[in-house]
Structures are given as structure tokens and as C-alpha cells.
């Protein structure tokens, strides 16, 4: 038993719903109680879809339990097929139905339907949403794919895009365009937009682009093994990754690929002088493994940030994320407990967080700007505008996304110069975020509000901030204050000091100057 307040991932059947909702001509018959229908709103409200997810819930009740929930399931499946006329159905159980062991797969099989029935076995008490999506897509591919000749022209499939995915809609569009520029057709994009008949055509492609390992890797591996289709390992998020991705496709297709980079703006934007202020900004990165890995590279190599923390919530990606963190000289935080993430952020006091909607809330609380780079996301992260993460336009979008929450270069200087000005006082936050300025109270978590001096236990030592040092610290702009405090304390500890004076503060400043 584990106490949970907010979760990064839903149960595995929600992953199956993401696949079903992404596809066309597929229906999901889900053995589940009525309350589980809440999941529809994820798609209709958060993602603003204009259709109900293609899901029939059996909505069994307590009074059905003793009698015949199996009949209820069979009736629901038969009715759903008659009403929606899908090309195939997937059938499965939610957490409650798993306990009553009705075997939806066997029951649906026994109906003798004239369409493929794909049973799903998703262990609700062990696995989560991403696994559910990955496994469902794999089962669909395994059941429906048909051996067939390759397309005459070089083509690939795009694998892994689902409903409720972070910018999947636009990533598909961006990659389709990029591949077209390289002279490569998209044979099938799946699950997003595919019908069961399209799934059958997957083997006609020459190779696969695995867009999101979280939701497409099992299918990609199976297609490689069964139909000899290689799949791409680089996820093209960021400038470097996109170039590597193109090179990887060149190797797969044994072609010299040339690409027009004229739409790519990130390199100049990040080199132009206003961006100097980005140098060495300390960032903490958390999300799903794929987006975290991509953003770690972007942060360091393309934005010039200093990465001070890396982690992911999906255990399936623990190994690569640990290896990546090591490369950055860090230890990865692998957890799905947002309180542990909050604690890590509080300790590290980064200047910026790249995270999910959970980290956005953490950032709000701690007064640290946050850019959202990964699912789970809320309704405002499903923008109306074209806003991919992948490819060259994706890189441009990411540059804007990462600087938006920050105080801009020139403004940063003005804040320092006019510290005492009533309009420029630092608690006002970035000027372009009128309504969302970090509140002064938000820094309370970092700043103990004891009247004259602050006492903090660091390990076994007790460190005392003298009044003058504390006063001086307050003069440092809010967006670097956390760092100044930490650096000073680390410096004082290294010198064996127990008291921090104004001098210690400036000695530390000199020590860490870069």
C-alpha cells in the first residue's frame, strides 16, 4: 500500500484508451465500474477532442457482482460492435474487473464476432499508463500486421503518437514534412490517425521512426524482428538530436541526405547577445525519460544552461536516464512521488525547472520559473497553434518555451540596478507575466522568516546567518537568491565556519565567480 496524492501516470487501461482514442475504426470494450468513465474527460476536456473516446464501459454495479457480470460484458461487447461497426475491437479489464476475473478476452472470443478481437492483459496493480499504451499498441500490431511487399519508394512508419500525448499532433506533422524534404514517404502513422486496416499495412515500410519509446517501443522491436524493419533510436528533439536523427536515417537508407536548415532559428537566437544571460542558469529537469534525455542535451549544448538535476517518473526509462545523469556528473532521481521531486528541487534551488504540470505547481510554490516539457500536462499545454517539439520548428518552439518563464537579459540588469524602486522591486517578478508574478511568500520555503538571523542545520553543523549578511542577501534579486544562499553555505561549510557574515557572503561570491 502506498499513499499517493498526485500521480504522473494513470492506470494502464488509460494507456489503452490513449491508443484506442488515437485510432479510427477501433473500439475498446472495457470491463469497468461506472466511475471509471471519468477517463473520457481527459480526452474531451483536457485535450478538447470533439468526439467521445471509442470506449464502451460495462459499468457493472455491486448488485451484478454476485450474479452475472460476464453476461453484462458479452452484451456490452455485442451492442458496441453492432452500434459502432468497428474494424476490430480491443477488450480488457480495469483494476476492479481484474479482481473479478471474468476473462474479457475469452468472453469476447466466444461471441464469434466477424472482426478481430484483441484481448489485453494489463496488470493494473503493477503497471501504469505508459506501459498500458505500449502493450496495447504492440498487441494491436501483432494481431493485425500482414506480410506484404515493401513500397516501391523509400517509406517509413511513424510509431508511438497517441491521444493525450504531449504535442504528438504537431510532432507528426513536423516529422512528416521533414521526411518529405528527405524524399521519404510516411507509409503509416500509428496509433495516431491509423485504422486497423492501416495497421495491416505497417510491414510495407522500409523502416520505422520510433517517435516515442514510451508508447511505441515494443511494437517497433517486434516489427524489426518479424519484418526486418530497422527503427530509429534517436528522438529528434533539439537541434543536435534532429541532425543526428537525419544522419541515422541516412545510415538506415544508405543515402546521402541533405536538408535545408533555413527554417532553423534556435542557433542564432541562442547565440545573439541578449541570450548571454542564459549562460550557466541552473536547471532541474524532470518528466518522462524521452523528453528528459532530449532536454538535458538541449539545456547544456544548445541553451548553455547548467543541468543540476535530472530525473524521470517512468521506471521503464530508469536505466537510460541513470546513465545520462552520470554523464552529467549527477545522480538521477527516479520516482513517481511528487513530494520527493519537490524535496529535490527545494534542496537544489535551481533557477529554472523543466518539467511536467506537477513541477509547474512545485515551481509556483517555491517561486521558481518552470517550462513544461513533458506529459502529464494540463489543458493549457494543448495549444491551438502549431507547436511541435520535434524537428527544426520544434527546436524553435523549445527555445521560446524555455526563455518565456525567465526574466530577460536586460530586465535582469534593471532589476539589480533599481532594487529599491517600488515598481521594479524584485518580488514583482518578470514583467511579461503580469498575473503570475511569484509571490514574496512563495520564497518562504527557502527563506526562514526568523526575525534577525536564520539558523539552519546542515548535516550536523549549525550555520548561523548574521543579521548583516541576511540583510545583504535580501538585496540579491530573487531569481538568484536561492543560489547565493546555497553557495555561501557550501563555501562556509568548506571553510569550517559556523557563522555567515557579510564578508563570508562576498568571499563566497568571489569564490564562485565565473
Partner 1 sequence: MNVPALTSSGGCRTAPVLKERGQREVFCGLTGIIWLHRKMQDAFFLVVGSRTCAHLLQSAAGVMIFAEPRFGTAILEEADLAGLADAHTELDREVDRLLSRRPDIRQLFLVGSCPSEVIKLDLHRAAERLTVKHAPHVRVLNYSGSGIETTFTQGEDACLACMVPVLPETQARELLVVGALPDVVEDQMLTLLAAMGIGPVRLLPAHRVDETTAVGPNTVFALTQPFLGDTHAALQNRGARHISAPFPFGEEGTTAWLAAIAAEFGVDKATFAAATDAPRARARKAIAQASEHLSGKSVFFFPDSQLEIPLARFLTRECGMTAIEVGSPYIHDALHGPDLDLLPAGPQISEGQDVEKQLDRVRAARPDLTVCGLGLANPLEAEGLTTKWAIELVFTPVHFYEQAGDLAGLFSRPIRRRSVLKLEAAE
Whether 121 sits among the annotated catalytic residues: the reply is: no
Q: Per-residue string for binding with ligand SF4, 29-68, x by CB under 6 A?
A: ----x-xx--------------------------------
Nearest to 406 by CA among 500, 292, 279: 279
Residue 34 near partner 1 by CB under 8 A? yes
Residue 183 near ligand SF4 by CB under 6 A? no
Q: Helices (DSSP H) in 356-477: which residue ranges? A: 357-366, 391-403, 409-417, 467-475
Q: Per-residue string for binding with partner 1, 365-404, x by CB under 8 A?
A: x------------x--------------------------
Going by their DSSP bridges, the two strands 55-57 and 88-93 should be labelled as unpaired
| Interaction residues for partner 1, span 62-121 (CB under 8 A) | 62, 65, 76, 79, 83, 94-96, 99-100
Q: Per-residue string for binding with partner 1, 192-211, x by CB under 8 A?
A: --------------------
Residue 364 near partner 1 by CB under 8 A? yes
Q: Which stretch binds partner 1 (CB under 8 A): 195-203, 239-247, 260-268, 361-369?
A: 361-369
Radius of gyration of the chain, Cα coordinates, nearest whole angstrom: 26
Q: Which stretch binds partner 1 (CB under 8 A): 149-157, 165-173, 356-364, 428-436?
A: 356-364
**Partners of 130 in the β-ladder:** none
Q: Per-residue string for binding with ligand SF4, 276-315, x by CB under 6 A?
A: ----------------------------------------
| Interaction residues for partner 1, span 233-252 (CB under 8 A) | none
Cα 226 to the chain's mean position, in Å? 30
Residue 436 near partner 1 by CB under 8 A? no
Nearer to ligand SF4, 11 or 289 (CB): 11
Q: Which stretch binds partner 1 (CB under 8 A): 27-35, 170-178, 407-415, 497-505?
A: 27-35
* CA–CA distances in Å: residue 485 to residues 183, 349, 469, 480: 54, 9, 10, 9
**Set 79, 274, 400, 461: catalytic member:** 274
Determine the Cα–Cα distance for residues 71 and 311; give it in Å rounded to an integer: 46
Position with the least CB separation from ligand SF4: 35
Residue 185 near ligand SF4 by CB under 6 A? no
Determine the Cα–Cα distance for residues 79 and 288; give it in Å rounded to an integer: 38
Determine the Cα–Cα distance for residues 40 and 181; give it in Å rounded to an integer: 37
**C-beta separation of 100 from 116 below 8 A:** no
* CA–CA distances in Å: residue 188 to residues 135, 182, 383: 19, 17, 25
Determine the Cα–Cα distance for residues 380 and 372; give it in Å rounded to an integer: 10
**For 140, left (φ over 0), alpha (ψ -120 to 50), or beta?**
alpha
List interacting residues with partner 1 (CB under 8 A): 1-7, 9-11, 13-14, 33-42, 44-46, 48-52, 56-62, 65, 76, 79, 83, 94-96, 99-100, 124-126, 128, 357-358, 361-362, 364-365, 378
Q: Which positions are catalytic?
A: 274
Amino acid at each position: 500500500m502506498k499513499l499517493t496524492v498526485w500521480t504522473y501516470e494513470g492506470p494502464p487501461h488509460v494507456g489503452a484508451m490513449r491508443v484506442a482514442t488515437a485510432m479510427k475504426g477501433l473500439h475498446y470494450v472495457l470491463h469497468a465500474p461506472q466511475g471509471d468513465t471519468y477517463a473520457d474527460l481527459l480526452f474531451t476536456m483536457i485535450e478538447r477532442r470533439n468526439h467521445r473516446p471509442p470506449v464502451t464501459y460495462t459499468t457493472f454495479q455491486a448488485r451484478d457482482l454476485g450474479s452475472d457480470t460476464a453476461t453484462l460484458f458479452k452484451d456490452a461487447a455485442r451492442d458496441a460492435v453492432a452500434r459502432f461497426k468497428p474494424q476490430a475491437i480491443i477488450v480488457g479489464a480495469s483494476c476492479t474487473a481484474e479482481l473479478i476475473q471474468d476473462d474479457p478476452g475469452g468472453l469476447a472470443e466466444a461471441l464469434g464476432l466477424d472482426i478481430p478481437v484483441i484481448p489485453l492483459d494489463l496488470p493494473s496493480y503493477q503497471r501504469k499508463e505508459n506501459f498500458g499504451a505500449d502493450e496495447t499498441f504492440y498487441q494491436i500490431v501483432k494481431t493485425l500486421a500482414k506480410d506484404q511487399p515493401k513500397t516501391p519508394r523509400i517509406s517509413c512508419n511513424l510509431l508511438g503518437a497517441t491521444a493525450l500525448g504531449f504535442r504528438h499532433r504537431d510532432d507528426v506533422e513536423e516529422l512528416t514534412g521533414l521526411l518529405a524534404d528527405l524524399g521519404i514517404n510516411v507509409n503509416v502513422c500509428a496509433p495516431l490517425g491509423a485504422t486497423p486496416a492501416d495497421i495491416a499495412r505497417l510491414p510495407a515500410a522500409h523502416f520505422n521512426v520510433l517517435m516515442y519509446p514510451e508508447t511505441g517501443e515494443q511494437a517497433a522491436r517486434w516489427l524489426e524482428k518479424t519484418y526486418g524493419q530497422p527503427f530509429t533510436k534517436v528522438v529528434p528533439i533539439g537541434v543536435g538530436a534532429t541532425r543526428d536523427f537525419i544522419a541515422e536515417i541516412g545510415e538506415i537508407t544508405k543515402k546521402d541526405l541533405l536538408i535545408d536548415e533555413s527554417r532553423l532559428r534556435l542557433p542564432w537566437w541562442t547565440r545573439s547577445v541578449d541570450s548571454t544571460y542564459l549562460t550557466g542558469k541552473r536547471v532541474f529537469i524532470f518528466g518522462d525519460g524521452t523528453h528528459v534525455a532530449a532536454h538535458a542535451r538541449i539545456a547544456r549544448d544548445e541553451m548553455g544552461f547548467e543541468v543540476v538535476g535530472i530525473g524521470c517518473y517512468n521506471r521503464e526509462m530508469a536505466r537510460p536516464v541513470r546513465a545520462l545523469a552520470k554523464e552529467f556528473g549527477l545522480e538521477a532521481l527516479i520516482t513517481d512521488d511528487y513530494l520527493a521531486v519537490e524535496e529535490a528541487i527545494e534542496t537544489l534551488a535551481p533557477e529554472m525547472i523543466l518539467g511536467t504540470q506537477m513541477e509547474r505547481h512545485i515551481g509556483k510554490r517555491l517561486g521558481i520559473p518552470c517550462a513544461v516539457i513533458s506529459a502529464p500536462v494540463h489543458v493549457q499545454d494543448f495549444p491551438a497553434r502549431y507547436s511541435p517539439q520535434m524537428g527544426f520548428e520544434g527546436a524553435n518552439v523549445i527555445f521560446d518555451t524555455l526563455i518565456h518563464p525567465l526574466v530577460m537579459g536586460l530586465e535582469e540588469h534593471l532589476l539589480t540596478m533599481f532594487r529599491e524602486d517600488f515598481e521594479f522591486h524584485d518580488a514583482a517578478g518578470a514583467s511579461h507575466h503580469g498575473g503570475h508574478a511569484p509571490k514574496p511568500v512563495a520564497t518562504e520555503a527557502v527563506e526562514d522568516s526568523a526575525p534577525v538571523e536564520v539558523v539552519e542545520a546542515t548535516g550536523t553543523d549549525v550555520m548561523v546567518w548574521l543579521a548583516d549578511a541576511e540583510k545583504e542577501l535580501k538585496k540579491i534579486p530573487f531569481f538568484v537568491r536561492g543560489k547565493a544562499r546555497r553557495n555561501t553555505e557550501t563555501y562556509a561549510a568548506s571553510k569550517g565556519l559556523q557563522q555567515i557574515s557579510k564578508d563570508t557572503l562576498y568571499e563566497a561570491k568571489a569564490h564562485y565567480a565565473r
